[in-house]
């Protein structure tokens, strides 16, 4: 990591600590953290590595528990329920989702393609000011992982998480046929917080983990169709130049073509049951790496393996993220729960018919 990049990180860490620790005099915190940032090495941590050292954090050894890079699987539900009380929505905006015919209509795909270039993501860098209205809107957020045919001998998780390019192309074409329009999480938050309009039948396409096949296989298919998507990347994996993951050049190229690049943490280690210092390291470290590399600050997190708790949300919120996506299944988004946005898991076995059925569910 470049020296000045580390310095930026330390400065932000100091800022975040000062906001959060009211009881301690700020100057003491600055001195402690400055000493910590100067004295400790940031160690990039791979999965399967047992311990991680944190920059600028006292007692900085924690135990890492990730077991594989594809540890979004198995598709378990998160265990933590929030303390947020969901009020009855004053205004429920419901995207129109209709039951669909079982056979694919014969409309030409070319005729359905948008004629104008989509808004490049992110649509906005200024957080929308909530207008005070409690809102729920139905916007399906699809969750993909690998976009390739699983290699021979792939385990059950890899198989489940892998959507072959031909199937993905069929998904995209079917979405167009059914009248869906891809949007992004920035526009979704704008709709939730201010009632900003969304396109008809909006859908958000997301990819977790930032695999290289997202660039090689998914990106050309999306670009051909002028469709948007969001990729949640693991920043240490890119920094380490792991061959299975994106490079920063790939991320930059996609970003210029309407793909949002957001945070999936630094190293894919669970964000549940962690102390504040560790969570700050994950939240700020991934945010500042993406901002440094791409020039755009990420505003959304996808919790690795879908695991988080109340502290995770508090820390990411303090670090000026706008929201988080989970592995909880559903399509109803609530502006009282921006850090617990549900998604719809797309599997290797999800046919276009099944995809449309999932999008049509009232959940």
In the complex with Zn ion, which residue's Cβ is closer, 180 or 300?
Answer: 300
First to last CA, the chain: 43
Pairing mode, strands 332-334 and 135-138: antiparallel
User: Cα 3 to chain center, whole Å?
Assistant: 27
How far CA 216 is from CA of 184, 210, 221, 250, 345, in Å, comes to 21, 11, 9, 9, 21
Dihedral of alpha carbons 335, 337, 340, 343, sign: negative
In the complex with Zn ion, which residue's Cβ is closer, 16 or 305?
Answer: 305
Taking the C-alpha atoms of residue 300 and residue 263, their distance in angstroms, rounded to an integer, is 6
Q: Which stretch binds Zn ion (CB under 5 A): 71-79, 273-281, 282-290, 312-320?
A: 71-79
How many other C-beta atoms can be found within 10 angstroms of the C-beta atom of residue 7?
A: 12
Taking the C-alpha atoms of residue 90 and residue 46, their distance in angstroms, rounded to an integer, is 46
Q: Which stretch binds Zn ion (CB under 5 A): 40-48, 116-124, 193-201, 206-214?
A: 206-214
The residue within the footprint of Zn ion, chosen from 178, 208, 213, 340 (CB under 5 A), is 208
Taking phi over 0 as left and psi of -120 to 50 as alpha, with beta for the rest, 150 belongs to: beta
Taking phi over 0 as left and psi of -120 to 50 as alpha, with beta for the rest, 238 belongs to: alpha
Taking the C-alpha atoms of residue 105 and residue 103, their distance in angstroms, rounded to an integer, is 6
In the complex with Zn ion, which residue's Cβ is closer, 209 or 340?
Answer: 209
Does residue 293 touch Zn ion according to CB under 5 A? no
In the complex with Zn ion, which residue's Cβ is closer, 54 or 70?
Answer: 70
- Provide the β-strand partners of residue 332: 138
Burial class (CB in 10 A: 0-12, 13-18, 19+), 28: exposed
Does residue 209 touch Zn ion according to CB under 5 A? yes
Min dist CB 210 to Zn ion, Å, is 9
Does residue 178 touch Zn ion according to CB under 5 A? no
Min dist CB 205 to Zn ion, Å, is 16
Does residue 72 touch Zn ion according to CB under 5 A? yes
Min dist CB 211 to Zn ion, Å, is 10
In the complex with Zn ion, which residue's Cβ is closer, 208 or 262?
Answer: 208
In the complex with Zn ion, which residue's Cβ is closer, 180 or 232?
Answer: 232
- Provide the β-strand partners of residue 63: 51
Q: Which stretch binds Zn ion (CB under 5 A): 28-36, 66-74, 96-104, 334-342?
A: 66-74
SS3 336: coil
Min dist CB 69 to Zn ion, Å, is 8
Min dist CB 207 to Zn ion, Å, is 10
Q: Which stretch binds Zn ion (CB under 5 A): 29-37, 40-48, 200-208, 345-353?
A: 200-208
In the complex with Zn ion, which residue's Cβ is closer, 72 or 262?
Answer: 72
In the complex with Zn ion, which residue's Cβ is closer, 47 or 352?
Answer: 47
Min dist CB 141 to Zn ion, Å, is 15
Residue of minimal Cβ distance to Zn ion: 72
Taking the C-alpha atoms of residue 142 and residue 359, their distance in angstroms, rounded to an integer, is 9
Min dist CB 269 to Zn ion, Å, is 11
Q: Tell me, by CB under 5 A, how many residues bind Zn ion.
A: 3
Min dist CB 48 to Zn ion, Å, is 15
In the complex with Zn ion, which residue's Cβ is closer, 160 or 209?
Answer: 209
Binding region for Zn ion (CB under 5 A): 72, 208-209
């Amino acid at each position: 990591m470049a020296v000045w990049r580390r310095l930026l990180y330390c400065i932000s860490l100091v800022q975040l600590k000062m906001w959060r620790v009211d009881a301690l005099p700020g100057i003491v915190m600055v001195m402690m953290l400055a000493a910590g940032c100067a004295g400790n090495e940031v160690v990039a941590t791979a999965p399967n590595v047992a311990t991680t050292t944190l920059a600028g954090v006292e007692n900085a050894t924690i135990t890492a528990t990730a077991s594989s890079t594809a540890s979004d699987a198995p598709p378990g539900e998160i265990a933590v329920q929030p303390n947020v009380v969901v009020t009855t929505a004053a205004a429920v905006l419901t995207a129109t989702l209709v039951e669909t015919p079982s056979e694919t209509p014969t409309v030409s795909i070319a005729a359905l393609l948008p004629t104008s270039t989509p808004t490049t993501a992110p649509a906005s860098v200024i957080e929308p000011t909530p207008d005070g209205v409690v809102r729920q809107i139905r916007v399906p957020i699809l969750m993909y992982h690998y976009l390739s045919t699983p290699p021979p001998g792939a385990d059950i998780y890899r198989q489940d998480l892998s959507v072959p390019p031909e199937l993905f192309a069929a998904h995209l074409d079917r979405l167009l046929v059914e009248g869906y329009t891809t949007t992004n999480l920035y526009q979704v938050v704008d709709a939730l917080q201010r009632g900003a309009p969304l396109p008809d039948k909006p859908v958000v396409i997301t990819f977790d983990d930032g695999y290289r096949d997202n660039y090689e296989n998914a990106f050309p298919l999306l670009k051909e169709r002028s469709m948007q998507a969001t990729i949640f990347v693991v920043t240490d994996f890119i920094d380490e130049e792991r061959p299975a993951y994106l490079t920063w050049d790939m991320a930059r190229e996609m970003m210029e073509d309407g793909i949002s690049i957001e945070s999936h943490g630094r190293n894919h280690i669970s964000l549940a049951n962690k102390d504040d210092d560790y969570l700050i390291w994950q939240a700020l470290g991934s945010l500042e790496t993406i901002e440094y590399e791409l020039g755009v600050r990420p505003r959304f997190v996808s919790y690795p393996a879908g695991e988080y708790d109340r502290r995770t949300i508090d820390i990411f919120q303090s670090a000026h993220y706008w929201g988080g996506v989970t592995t909880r299944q559903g399509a109803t988004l609530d502006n009282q729960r921006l850090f617990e946005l549900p998604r719809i898991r797309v599997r290797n076995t999800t046919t276009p018919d099944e995809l449309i059925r999932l999008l049509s569910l009232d959940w």
